[in-house]
Chain A
Amino acid sequence: MNKTININLASTFFHIDEDAYRILKQYLTSLERTFQNTQGKEDIMNDIEMRIAELFQERKKHTSYVFNTADVEEVIQVLGQPEDFISGALDEEQNEDHNARTKNTTHTSKKFFRDTDDRYIGGVASGLAHYLGIDPTWMRLALLFAAVFSAGTFFMVYVVLWILVPEAKTTADKLRMKGEPININNIEKKIKEDFEKVSEKFKDDYEDARSTVKKKSENFFGQLEHFLKSLFRILFKIIGLIIVFVAFMGCIGWFLSFFLVSVFGMSNSFINPYIDFFNTSNTFSILVWIAIFLVVIIPLLGLFALGRKFINPRAHFFGLGGRWTIAGLWIGSVFILSIAAVNQIRQFAFTADHYTQELLLTQPSDTLLLKATIEKKTISQNPIIRSDWVFRWRHHRFFGHYDERVRLQIKPNNNPENLLEFYTTADGPKWDLAKQYAQNINYNWQEEDHTLWLDPSLNLEIQDRFRRQSLEMTLYLEEGQILYIDRSVLKMLDRTIPNDQDYSRSRMGDHYWKMHNDQLECLDCVPKKEI
C-alpha cells in the first residue's frame, strides 16, 4: 500500500505516490541548493518545474495515473543530476570550489581529509588510509611504528598534519575523501535518504566557499583547543588516579587502625589507651568513637568518589538519597564531636592542688636508699586486682614504665628532719571537684629499712583517669644526710637537682650523695678535674 499525494507542477495537477514524491522533492531541493548563488535562480527553477510537468504530461497514460518512483527517476535521468547542470552552465565567475567539484564528478579524484568519524586522535591516519586506499588499521599501525622508530619525531609530523589537513565535515567532503563520485545517488546512499542532510551539504559547501580563509584559521585554533582539551583530559585522569589511590589507602588505613586494632582488642593501638577517654556516659562515648570514625572516613570516601569522577565523568556514587544520608551522617558526627569537645573542655575548666607532708623515719646516721618500685613487683605484691590495674597496665605499655606526671625534687631542709612533701594538682569542671580529684590521687610509697620505695606512676580511680592529675614530690633532707640514688628513680627526678658535680639527672644514679651546704655532694664520683 502506498499513499498518493497530489502535486501541482507549473499549474498542472498530478497524482504521485509517496516514495516518488519524496524523490522528486529531494531532487528539486538539491537543485535549488545548487543554484543558490546563481543569478536568476527562480527562473531556472520555474523552467525546470515546467519541463518536469511537460515530461510528466507525456508519460501520463490516463487522467488518474499515479506517478511512481520509476517515472520520477526516468524524468530525473532526462534532466540530469544537479552536478551536470553546473558543468553545463559554468559561470566564469563561479568559485573554485565548484570547479573542483565538477572535476570530481567526472574524474572522482580523491582529496586528503581527516576522517573524524573514524578516529583515535585526530583522524589523520584514517584520512590518509582513505586517500591511499588502504585499511585505516594498517595505516594506524604504520604511523605508530613510524612514531616509535623515529623516537617520536614522527609524532610531530602527525601533529602538523592534524593542524594542516582539513577535517571532512560535509557529506561532499566525506565522499571526496573516499574517492566516491559526488552525485545525488551516492549522497543518498551515504546519508540514507536524509533530505535534511542533503540540503545541509549544499549549504555547507556554499558557506565553505564563502569563508574558506576564515574557516582555515578557525580550524587551526579549533584543533589547538581540541588538542589542549584532550591533554587536559589525560591530565585529569592521572590526577583522578592519584586521588583515588590516596583515598583508597586512607580508607583502608583508617578502617584497619580503627576497627581491627582497637575494637577487636589488639593492644598497643593508637586508640586503645583512650577508649574511655571521654568523661561521659558509656553510650555517648561509643557514639563519639563512631563519630570520630565517620568524620574521617566520609571525606575519604568523598575523595574517592571525586577521583572516580575525574577518571570517568559519568561515574555515580550512592545515588542522590545516599549522598544526602552520608552528608547527614557527617554533619551529625561533627555535631556529636563538637558536643564532646565542649564537654571535654569543660572538664578542665578548673585546676586545684593539694599538699601533704610525711616525716621520714630515717635519721642522718643512716644512709637513705632511694628506689623505684617496678611494675611487676607492684602487681605481684598486690594479688588483689585494683580498680585501675587495667589502666595502669595499658598506660605503661604505651608510655613506657615511667609516668611523666610523677616528679621528684631533692632539696635541703633547714630543720633537723627528713620530709617527703606531696603536691598534687588536678582539673575538674568545678573547683571543688578539681580539689577532690587532687585529694583523691592515690600514691604508693613505702619506707622500710632506710629504703624509700617510690612508685613511678599514679594510682587513679577508674572514673577519674583523665583529670590531668600530677604529683610533684619534694624530698627535704637535713644537713649531712647521706643518700644513695638508685638508677631506677632517675626518670622520676626533676631535671635539675643542685649538686656539686653539675650532673644532669641521668648521671646521678648509683652514687652516694651527701646533703651539704644546700646541695648534694657526690661521695664516690670520679673527682672533677682540678682547675
Chain B
Amino acid sequence: MNPIASKSRADRRAFVAKLLSTVPDALVVTGLGSAAYDVFAAGDRDLNYYLWGAMGGAAALGLGLALAQPTRSVVVITGDGEQLMGIGSLATIAAKQPRNLSIVVLDNGHFGETGMQRSHSSLGTNLVAVAKGFGIADAFAVDSLEGCDEVSRRVLSRDGVSFAQVFIEANEPPRALPPRDGPFIKNRFRSALGLKPF
C-alpha cells in the first residue's frame, strides 16, 4: 500500500477542466489515453499536443518544448502508467530544472485504457517520493478539486519545475476523442506559436 495514497480523490474531468481554465496560455502536452481525453473534453485548443502513442514520452516531449519556449508555461498532463513507463525522464528533467515546466500525473493507480489492471502506484510506488528522489524538489500530491489551485499557481509563476500527483477516481468517463492526425496537431500547434513551415 502506498503510504501516502489518499482516500479522498478528485474527479478527473472536473480537475483537468478547472486547471486548463486557469492557465489559458499554457502549452499543453498530454500522455496517451484518458489524459488526452480529459484535456480534449475540457475544450480543444490549438496549443494542445495530444499523444496517441509514444507511451512514456510525454514528460520528455514536454522537456524539449519547455527548453525551446522558455517564456511560455508548459504543462504535461498524463497518467500514472504513462509516467511510469518513462520514469527516467524525471531524472532528465531534474538535471535541467526547466523553470517553466509542470508535470501533472492523473493517478488512479490503474491502467485505465487496458482494463483497469492495477499499476505500480497502487502496488507500492510513491510517485512524489520518486520525483523528489530524482531531484524535482517541488513534488507534491493533491486529492481534490481545490488542490487544483496549487498546480495552477506553479504553472503561472514559471519559477521552477514541479511535479503534481493528482489522486483521481478510478472511473471511466465517456470517451472524448481528440484528433488522431499527428501532422495536423503538430502543424496547428506550431502555427499557433507563430512558427512557419520549414
**Real binding pair:** no
A residues whose Cβ falls under 8 Å from a Cβ of B: none
